[in-house]
Amino acid sequence: MKKAFTILCAAMFSLASLPSFAQFKLGVTVGVSSNSIGYNLEDSDDEDDLKDATKAKIGYTVGLAAEYGFSEAVSLQTGLLLANKGYKIEFDEDGISAKQKTSLTYLEIPLNLAFKISNFQLHAGPYVGFGLSGKEEAEYEIGGESESEEGKFKFKNKVSESDLEDLQDDEDYLRRTDFGLNLGVGYRLGPVLVTATYSKGLSKLAPSYDGNDDDDDDKFMNKGISLAATWFFNK
């Protein structure tokens, strides 16, 4: 988190030093999100069961925003954001109940093209995120006996056999790079832009192992809806 904060501050000062053009705007963004994961599994029955057990997890978005206006109707909107995502799994069946919460934090860069009509806008575009930290908390109850576990994640796109040997019992790997698409709407009131955005991850959360990245295996991907407010320093 300290490293990410340092990067955000450095980016802010770098952008602030750029020449001041009327079409360029710099601001800060804060928001709240409802996050989950999407599934693409080979076994459709397992996929249905997981979908039923998956619940939304509340997260946040905070960081630097920038906008470059090509015209009054079209602009490019980007930023450097800390995005907290993740999901919950809950089920209770055959005397076994479980609650699991996974929290993942990314340094995320969106690149949205915005089309404006009066104070309203429609925006869409890709995003790329880089995994910074992740943890997992789980509670189980089997036959009336309760047990809890905690774990943390390391991020790497390709994992070797030696990487797996170095893992602790409470550690696991996730893919560092996350990318996907955004689609949303917004309303601008003075220097403030309020947006609602749906994000759909296109890259799977699991890394490739020993360079084997089979497109036919099971896939788990981030997805979520966020509500954010951006305050621009110049109108």
What is the rounded distance in angstroms from the CA atom of residue 26 to the CA atom of residue 28?
Answer: 7
- Residue numbers of the domain that contains 86: 2-17+25-200+208-232
Residue ranges in the chain modelled with pLDDT below 70: 1-22, 41-47, 94, 211-218, 235
pLDDT at 97: 83
pLDDT at 93: 73
pLDDT at 9: 52
The greatest distance separating any two alpha carbons of the chain, rounded to the nearest whole angstrom, comes to 67
Q: Which residues contact 16 (CB under 8 A, 6 or more apart)?
A: 26
The count of C-alpha atoms lying within 13 angstroms of the C-alpha of 32, restricted to the half-sphere facing its C-beta, is 3
Q: Which two tokens stand for residue 55?
A: 């619940």
CB burial of 19-55 (b: ≥16 within 10 Å; e: otherwise) equals: eeeeeebbbbbebebebbbbbebeeeeeeeebeeebe
* Look-up of token digits 């988190």: 1
pLDDT at 3: 52
Q: How many domains does the chain have?
A: 1
* Look-up of token digits 């055959």: 94
User: Could you tell me the pTM of the whole model?
Assistant: 0.84
- Angle formed at CA 226 by CA 155 and CA 72, multiple of 5 degrees: 115
Task: Write the DSSP string, 21-71.
Answer: -TTEEEEEEEEEEEEEEEEE-SSHHHHHHHHHHEE-EEEEEEEEEEEEESS
- The partner residues of 154 in beta bridges, in order of sequence, read 173
pLDDT at 49: 73
